[in-house]
Structure 1
Amino acid sequence: MVNLASLHGAGYRLVLREPRENGDRNLEADFFGPDGIANDVDAPLLLDLVETGAGNHLRINENVAEQIGRMILEMSPPDERNRSVREVLRTSPVRTYERAMAAAPPVDPETLERLGRLGEALLVSYGFAPPPPVPTLMKDMPSAYTYLGQFLAHEMTLWDPADASGPPQTVDLIDSAIDLKTIFKRPLGFPRNLPTHVQEEEGLPLNQTIVDSGPGFPGSGLDDLPRMDSGRALILDPRNDQNLTLSQTQVAITRFAQAAISILKPLVLTGEEVRRIVLRHFQSVVLQDYLVRLVDPKTYDDVMVNGRVWVAPSAGGGMPDPFYVSPEFSGAIFRFGHAMRRDNYSPWNTVNPNKTVMSALASDLLDFSFDGGDLTNGQLLQTWTTDWRHMLGTEGVTSIKATSIGTAWKDALFCLPGYLFQPSVHDKPCNGAQSGRLNLARRTLISGGLMGLPSGQVLAGDVQTALVNAGSPCQIPILSAAELDIPDNPAATAIMQEGPVGSRFVDHTPLWIYTLLEAAVKSDGDRLGPLGGRIVAETLSAAIEASGSGMIVNGVLQPFTPDPAFGGKSTDKFVYSDLVRLAFSGNP
């Protein structure tokens, strides 16, 4: 696999070929640098989708050619500043994906319009009367796991930290390995002299909170992301400051790493060995806690015991190096987490009975961030830190459960501030009370069309073929048209059924919607369905194997023994509550 970061450097060019095998289109590419070809000519690179920080998708032009000094790419949507593809590549960070399968045909304007209307119809606006229905909840998924999933999504799709304001440069592209890069790696331009409210412990910085709760509130006060005086977070991925629960998730993982490193200090270990131990415990949380709750047992056991058949197949001759997640995963399937969010987390923080926050609305979570504007002099109030007892269900406290996976959404959760998005010519503001905000559902569906994502039916059929070829007993049944109705939403269902048979969305369902409906139909929204669960389990397995930690070897989960000094309650796994308990030394 060739490092696409070479696109940042002067003197590089692409040579693209379009061989056809049995009528199937297969785009390949070679990279040429100043010293000649940059990849093995006998093993050409399967050209992947490239997405830039400016919000452009770069796709192969139909007229594939070999021309020195010319990038044979086109932008979709067009760059708003009328820059060339070369200018965009030289001034924007890039994110790289590896396609799991051939791209779908380019989407036509009529389909894009229909995708947009579907995204709009999926959002339901509730007034004061009648009251909105009580959301159904997942049986075994505390809300803390919603935001652990978002943290993982960012860990696997991190923007290249190239400095867009400086001259073009060749940089190392950050791959999709789950290696806690977002915790251990510092952002470009990290200041030598930190603000006084930022303190480092074990080389990892955190920010002091403003203690507004009086005596008795637990924690050291270092309970927020490290921030400049302005409030801007000093973290590798700024997206982890998009909402309060996500930023608090990064704080908890950072504090866990600090505590673990401190415990390991007396041992004669290198820094790399210490980080590996910390990483393996975090990866155990992902593999043996998060995934167990999310994927049906049969699929989980098949992936962990027998290895992967679709994502970086275990029988395929080794892990790709570097490993990048697919656009199918990042642009659709792993976005099931959007449906797990709640519009109200109650109670939020009851540690100090004299200074409680009884409810945190979805809008509060967005506001307590740098862009949200509700930080106090660039710092977080201590009472707004996460009370993990409620979000995770520790210390005998009943957890706040995540919303069931499905398509019953409130517009307050899917109409979001524009600052969370890169600009797109396809954006359309939400209506009514959410006017001026952008529709996340509409944007996700249109983006999937522009990225050439396969339909849920096509992907399910291809993965089922791979399972049969691998001798797996697992089955991925394709949902029927009747199962693809949008529950309690006749307007959205009508759009799903528009058009002649064979070209309707119930025949070729957008992959994101298919993933959500599969979970609702096959698992009652409590976990992912057979297709979604398979792709998520295999992708997280591959991303962890790519880290080189040894937790996954040749696609198979290896035995793991947690360090007893870390205080876990099991001898063969480390779970999220163990991580949080160590992070806060027994306090929530």
Structure 2
Amino acid sequence: MSRRGFIGGVTAGAAFTALPGTATAQTAPPTNPRFFGRLFNNLPPFAPATQQVQEALRELGRPGGIMDAKDPLNEGPVRLITNPELSPNNVDNPFHTAGTTFLGQFIDHDFTFDNNSRLGVPTPPETSPNTRIPTLSLDSVYGGGPNVNPELYEPSDRVKFRLESGGMFEDLPRRSDNVAIIADPRNDENLIIAGIHAAFLKFHNRVVDLVRSQGVPADQVFARAKQIVTWHYQWIIVHEFLPQIIGHGLTTDIQRHGRQFYRPAPGQFFMPVEFQGAVYRFGHSMVRPSYRANRNGDPSGNPATGAPAFFGFIFDPRGQGQADPVDLRGRARARRRFIGFETFFDFGGNQTQHVRPNKRIDTMISTPLFNLPLQAIASGDPPTSLPQRNLLRHLTWSLPSGQAIAEAMRIPILTREIFPELRPLGNNLDASTPLWYYILKEGKYLGDGITLTGVGARICGEVFFGLLQLDTTSYLSAQPNWTPTLPRRNASTFTMVDLLTYARVDPASRGQ
């Protein structure tokens, strides 16, 4: 069977160790939604938290090292988009649009935020708070609601969000120092996720108008609008986002046949560190070096830079301290700093030509992510290499190796022959591999970088479905046969394009 064949099932080949038997979940101790926990309590760490191992992980994730795609940044942000052959190590994914990456980041900020543990310092997950509610309930947008967080809402209409504009279109509300007034500051890390957050604010405000037009009593308008917004968002996750990242087959399998490994007791759902610290960080491999933020936001700019379109690297050291940065970092307001969503999602028709893909799921990470601005790091502390940070987090949580988890799941194991690049690092990393690196290699080796596969896909899918099914307010729990009620292009579903269209941030609403 081909590598792609693995996506629809499980097969063994020369590069795998096949394991017989039926997978069973481990018995888990009591967990708490307010803290992190483990899926695999009985598995040892992939390596001891020694200085030697730390140095090996830093070497693996260093700028210019094994994981650096070595994008030729000197070619500029425009050419790296229009001439993808310039980055032969960083291949496009023709089946994902660029927005998949940032929708995934937005979702991440909705249900997990570790603001307490220290990189590389072993920490029991059960003692480390998750400062987000581990449900897909948009608390990153709503905060505690108008009564708890009135600063997020319009003073003259307390059930609607504040929204401002310093560019051509919508912007997050900001303080005088440009810090966004939002429930989760991470949603202003870059221009694209800030634009998605602003689109959700507009989406909610339009739903409020709809609910009022239906005669819902004033004291019920906010709750009703929030439920409509949240359930449509959850529908997108189940029916669009998850099939994109783990495949339709596994999405359907988990929904129909249940979860095997993420099975907390009722009321004890939690955010697993295997997911938070490793698996869900797969999205970092999909980030492009540069993006076209919009097609016409910079009419007075230099045509050599792509104007009137606004192109920029996702992060560029030259942007530090600039009022209108040359890159796509957040925490700035200027006329050109808005998102033309036709670059990131496919609105069909003549807009399809403007869509850009994201990068494949593999061990090659775009070069700008090896030099993050400190403002994009929640703690504000180095290292500034995102791959180094991800790898050191494996020591923080004492995560098992990818091979050990594959064995526990009865999934064919990638053997050490698949990881020859890790042998020079020592510490047995080619046979006991950090989970994040392992699931990226799974995606590349077994899925051609199109989707997660194996361990990564199963953990990702089960955690998403588990958190939705265990949340009594989600549509999957409260009303599993519910279907979307808002306008949509396809009567059978509701997509991110439909959400953006209803929010009136689509090209047609902007006269494009």
- TM value normalised by structure 1: 0.66
- Residues 236 and 457 from structure 1, CA distance in 2 versus in 1: closer, same or farther, beyond 3 angstroms? same
Secondary structure of 2:243 counterpart = helix
Secondary structure of 1:302 counterpart = helix
Distance in 1 of aligned mates of 2:318 and 2:207 = 30
Amino acid at match of 2:339: T
Choose the corresponding residue for 1:441, options 387, 403, 406.
387
Distance in 2 of aligned mates of 1:101 and 1:200 = 47
- Residues 573 and 108 from structure 1, CA distance in 2 versus in 1: closer, same or farther, beyond 3 angstroms? same
- Residues 411 and 417 from structure 1, CA distance in 2 versus in 1: closer, same or farther, beyond 3 angstroms? same
1:112 match: 54
Distance in 2 of aligned mates of 1:239 and 1:172 = 15
Distance in 2 of aligned mates of 1:325 and 1:298 = 24
2:349 matched to 1:403? no
Distance in 1 of aligned mates of 2:149 and 2:473 = 30
2:312 match: 360
Choose the corresponding residue for 1:300, options 245, 251, 255.
251
Choose the corresponding residue for 1:155, options 96, 102, 110.
110
2:480 match: 558
CA deviation string 1:474-494 (max 9, x = no partner): xx3211222234xxxxxxx1x
Amino acid at match of 2:419: L
- Structure 2: where are the runs of 5+ without partners? 1-25, 76-84, 117-128, 301-306
Amino acid at match of 2:409: V
- Residues 157 and 109 from structure 1, CA distance in 2 versus in 1: closer, same or farther, beyond 3 angstroms? same
2:93 matched to 1:138? yes
User: For the pair shown, which has the larger CA radius of gyration, 1 or 2?
Assistant: 1
Choose the corresponding residue for 2:184, options 232, 237, 240.
237
- Structure 1: where are the runs of 5+ without partners? 1-25, 29-43, 49-94, 162-170, 212-220, 429-437, 465-475, 486-492
2:500 match: 580
Shift of 1:522: 0.9
Shift of 1:258: 1.5
1:480-519 → structure 2 map (5 Å cutoff): 480-485=415-420, 493=421, 495-496=422-423, 498-499=425-426, 504-519=428-443
Q: Which one has more relative contact order, counting CA pairs under 8 Å at least 6 apart?
A: 2
CA deviation string 1:368-393 (max 9, x = no partner): 9xx875379x8623432111112112
Shift of 1:449: 1.8
Choose the corresponding residue for 1:123, options 50, 59, 68.
68
Distance in 2 of aligned mates of 1:366 and 1:319 = 50
Secondary structure of 1:384 counterpart = coil
CA deviation string 1:439-482 (max 9, x = no partner): 11112111212310111111122223xxxxxxxxxxx3211222
Secondary structure of 2:94 counterpart = strand
| 388-397 or 122-131: bigger deviation | 122-131
1:101 match: 40
Distance in 1 of aligned mates of 2:146 and 2:482 = 35
CA deviation string 1:223-245 (max 9, x = no partner): 11111122111111111111111
Distance in 1 of aligned mates of 2:32 and 2:348 = 50
1:169-318 → structure 2 map (5 Å cutoff): 174-185=132-143, 202-211=159-168, 221=169, 223-269=170-216, 270=220, 271-312=222-263
- Residues 126 and 143 from structure 1, CA distance in 2 versus in 1: closer, same or farther, beyond 3 angstroms? closer
- Residues 192 and 262 from structure 1, CA distance in 2 versus in 1: closer, same or farther, beyond 3 angstroms? closer
Distance in 1 of aligned mates of 2:293 and 2:164 = 24
1:53 match: none
Distance in 2 of aligned mates of 1:359 and 1:172 = 35
- The percentage of counterpart residues that share the same residue type is 23
Secondary structure of 1:203 counterpart = strand
CA deviation string 1:305-344 (max 9, x = no partner): 112111136xxxx5334x3211110111000111111111
- TM value normalised by structure 2: 0.76
Distance in 2 of aligned mates of 1:208 and 1:154 = 23
1:9 match: none
Shift of 1:409: 2.6
Q: How many residues align?
A: 438
CA deviation string 1:399-448 (max 9, x = no partner): 110001112234323221233336699x55xxxxxxxxx21111211121
Distance in 2 of aligned mates of 1:265 and 1:285 = 24
Per residue, is there more helix in 1 or in 2? 2
Secondary structure of 1:359 counterpart = strand
